[in-house]
Structure 1
Amino acid sequence: MPPTTATATAAEHAQDADREGRLAPEVVAALAATGLARHFVPRRWGGTEGTFTDLLHEVAGVGEACTSAAWVGMLWAAHGRFAALLPEEGQRRLWGAHPDVRIAAALMPPSGRAEPAPGGCRLTGTWGCVSGVDSAEWVLVAAPVADDGETRVFAVPGAAVDVLDTWDATGLRGTGSHTAVVRDAFVPHELSFPMAELMRGAGAPDLPRCHTAPAQLAGGLMFCAPALGAARRALAVWSRWAASKAPGSGRPQHDSAAVRETLTVASAHIDAAGLLLERAAHRADTAPVTPALVTGNQRDAAVAAGLLADAVDRLFRTGGAHIRDASGELTRLWRDVHTVASHGVLRLEPVAAAYASTALAAADRASTASRSA
């Protein structure tokens, strides 16, 4: 993808983001200018109501510059999609002035407590790993309501959220995924909606596909998109090393059979992951929503994440000592891809259980129908 202002700015500050644990203000501004925050915002507020396919391409492109910036931008888009489930007046509160509102979120697992109050709820709680919370204008959090136990999503102004500096992960260090604390904030009814609606997707007629898709249909592919860009960048960094002269012999590094095999397998795995995510995005945009489609997309995203982690492992192991410097770009990308792949949404075990349950139930139904014919 050709460099843009956002990708160039993100690339320039990527090492600083990794070291300092946050995105620079210049990166936040450039990322906001790409329109990622408005990607799924309803058109009546100036948003794009975009597709999952376009988002995949844009996020992967930013991921080639800085995985952390891509992760935060992807989440701005995803959280705008969730906030579109707010009642009309709540949406007006968020987007009445402009659609490029930066929204952070902590939804799984639900935490805290919401006490019913006249006109809304009083919300108190602590939520961990809230990516981009330090630059968020609004924060979505999920909490059970005290009177009936229903879990609801609450939109809280960023100014009402205290941020505890707790993020010190191996990768995605620049996301600033710190802990958010809300201390007895009043949240009116128009700034909340049931968590169940997010999971199943909006059901009102005439809504765009991006607002009716259930959360799990596209969640995995969106989370995997930054890693796709990071793995592509890792391959480019490693390939420059492979084309260089080996110390002493003066021969190209790729004269080694191990280097050629690494290039072949790693590049194929990255391409295969991209194809899986492309297909998943296309289905999320167009295919009828069924349990088989949801679990199939979850499978493709989890397998793609595994392929990307395997690819950067191969590159990292085969690269020379200097390319594996602790502060080097390949090392950072290797850490980032593994951190993405370890996210709960992309873990293979639960995804495999869901996929097998759906696929084998369909096979059993087909077998029963065949015997009855």
Structure 2
Amino acid sequence: MSTATRPEAPDATRAVAPAVSPSAPALVPDDPDGLGPLAGARRLRDVAASHAADADRTGVLADEVVALIRDAGFARHLVPVEHGGHGGGFGELNRAVALVGEGCAATAWCASLAAYSARFVGHLPAAGQDRVRADGADALIATALVPGGRAVPESGGWRLAGQWNYVSGIRSADWVLLCAPVVPEGPREPGVPPELRFFALPRGAYTVRETWDSVGMRATGSHTVAVEGAGVLVDAELSFARQELLAGRNAHSPLPLHNLPFRSVAGLPFVVPALGAAAGALAACAATVTGRRRTETNELRLVRASAKIDAARLLVAEHAAVLDARAFSPESLARGERNVTFATELLREAVDEVVRAAGTGGLGDSSAVQRLWRDVTSATSHVALQYETFARSSYAAVLLGPKEG
């Protein structure tokens, strides 16, 4: 698929795998999870789950898991067919990432960001895209969205130096996209902010400082990237303006996947791994609620948790459908931001219910429940998933109209 929209299968409800909510519509028989070209996500979930405890302890995804992220097609999923990718949809990406998250939230996070970062590469000039994908569309890309460092114009390109924090998946990345202000030598015009640009660097052109030490999502390896000393010279073909990404304007490609406003994805890359992790925690806990532990209180906690997870799944699925249909309007985009933020709130509440039902045993070092609970807590702290970032102001304007004055 390139410019056409792939028909979406209805969303499955996998609150306690493999059960399906009675109200959930049936999926096509040959694709029960609605994964499309990402059917390899099933195996990735199972293999990642077998390594999850070690990954949490060491802070590193197993080589086998990284290879399966690549082989399952996450990096190529949002790359257009014309460039060797799937040209896939957001709905099937959501379902695949959530499925992986049931086994290992950190793996799902890295798989999700591999997909979205590969889409960003489409903003590079054609020659730059060719360089990044010289070995195929499965190149793993990491991205530093928050500006850091500085870039000084030099020899038809820029000399880039500095450091960038919280770059998920950087240890396994083939390339990284770094956002930096362009600071010309000499005096700057007062009151004019510097231009912000992204710069693509291959592995070996930067160093990684192991600074990530979160209570959850430990194996995302969201470390600091540093370009040290005099910096590195970046060619013009390996850079694009940040404003193009934010506005969804692409000077180098007319393809729809390359022309989506940045805010239109509304936190989907970050909330869906948490959705999968919450479903995994629920399933892990439900397996232990037997015999004397099957009390009315624990039944109620798990029923409430399952409803919140299902509701969160429906909210993010609704927004993915808007993206796949390219049905953009100020109202639909604001609704997406609200949906994702409220889904985040529901998932935090759901795993709190689950961990209470799990009791002391669920908090043991060997319990998947406590690991997934920590992962959801960490993932949902991301700034893109907070009401104050986008949803409060954007959806308030839909409900109440523009602010006066």
- Alignment TM-score, normalising by the size of structure 2: 0.84
Counterpart secondary structure, 1:241: coil
> Kindly tell me: are residues 198 and 206 of structure 1, through their superposed partners in 2, closer, same or farther at Cα, counting changes over 3 Å?
closer
* Partner residue in 2 for 1:73: 111
Whether 2:223 is the aligned partner of 1:223: answer no
The 2-side partners of 1:14 and 1:91 are apart by: 33
Cα offset for 1:303?
0.6
Counterpart of 1:141, as a letter, is: L
The counterpart of 2:291, out of the listed 245, 248, 268, is 245
1:89 equivalent in structure 2? 127
- The one-letter code matched in structure 2 to 1:180 is V
Note closer, same or farther for the CA distance 1:190–1:20 as it changes in structure 2 (3 Å cut): same
After TM superposition, give the deviation of residue 206 of structure 1 in Å: 7.9
CA distance in 2, matches of 1:143, 1:89: 21
Q: Which amino acid aligns with 1:127?
A: W
Letter aligned with residue 351 of structure 1: F
User: d(CA) in 2 for partners of 1:306 and 1:132?
Assistant: 25
Q: Unaligned stretches of 5+ in structure 2? A: 1-32, 34-38, 189-193
Given candidates 347, 350, 354, the residue that maps to 2:386 is 347
Counterparts of 1:293 and 1:208, CA distance in 2 = 21
How many residue pairs get aligned? The number is 356
Match of 1:84, SS state, is helix
Partner-residue secondary structure (3-state), 2:245: helix
Mapped pair 1:200 → 2:239: no
Q: Is residue 2:331 matched to residue 1:292?
A: yes
SS at match of 1:171: coil
Match of 1:309 in 2: 348
CA distance in 2: counterparts of 1:272 and 1:360, whole angstroms: 22
Rounded Cα–Cα distance in structure 2 between residues aligned with 1:63 and 1:142 = 28
Q: Which amino acid aligns with 2:218?
A: R
Secondary structure of 1:288's aligned partner: coil
Asked whether the 8 Å contact 2:123–2:250 carries over to 1, the reply is no
**Partners of 1:165 and 1:179 within 8 A in 2:** yes
Change (3 A) 1:70 1:187: same
* Distance of aligned partners of 1:194 and 1:204 in 2 relative to their CA distance in 1, 3 Å threshold: closer
How much does 1:302 deviate? Answer: 0.8
Q: CA RMSD in A?
A: 1.9
Are 1:211 and 2:265 an aligned pair?
no
Greater per-residue helix proportion: 1
Structure 1 unaligned spans of 5+: 247-252, 366-373
User: What SS does the corresponding residue of 2:152 show, helix, strand or coil?
Assistant: strand
Query: Distance between the aligned counterparts of 2:127 and 2:60, measured in 1?
Result: 32
Superposition map of 1:8-23 within 5 A: 8-23=46-61
Deviates more, 1:283-292 or 1:190-199: 283-292
- 1:47 is aligned to 85
- Distance in 2 separating the partners of 1:80 and 1:143: 19
2:236 equivalent among 157, 166, 189: 189
Q: CA deviation at 1:129?
A: 0.8
Helix, strand or coil at the partner of 2:240: strand
Instruction: Give percent identity, aligned residues only.
Output: 41
CA deviation after TM superposition for structure 1 residue 7, in Å: 1.8
In the alignment, residue 298 of structure 1 is paired with which amino acid?
Answer: E
Instruction: For residue 389 of structure 2, give the secondary structure of its aligned residue in structure 1.
Output: helix
1:154 paired with 2:199, answer yes
Q: Structure 1 length as normaliser, TM-score?
A: 0.91
Aligned-partner residue type, residue 346 of structure 1: L
Mapped contact 2:338–2:392 kept (Cα < 8 A): no
> Does the CA-based 8 Å contact 1:52-1:210 persist in structure 2?
no
Amino acid at match of 1:12: S
Question: Of the candidates 9, 34, 45, which is equivalent to residue 7 of structure 1?
Answer: 45
After TM superposition, give the deviation of residue 364 of structure 1 in Å.
Answer: 8.6
> Which residue of structure 2 lines up, in the alignment, with residue 323 of structure 1?
362
CA distance in 1: counterparts of 2:338 and 2:163, whole angstroms: 31
Amino acid at match of 1:40: L
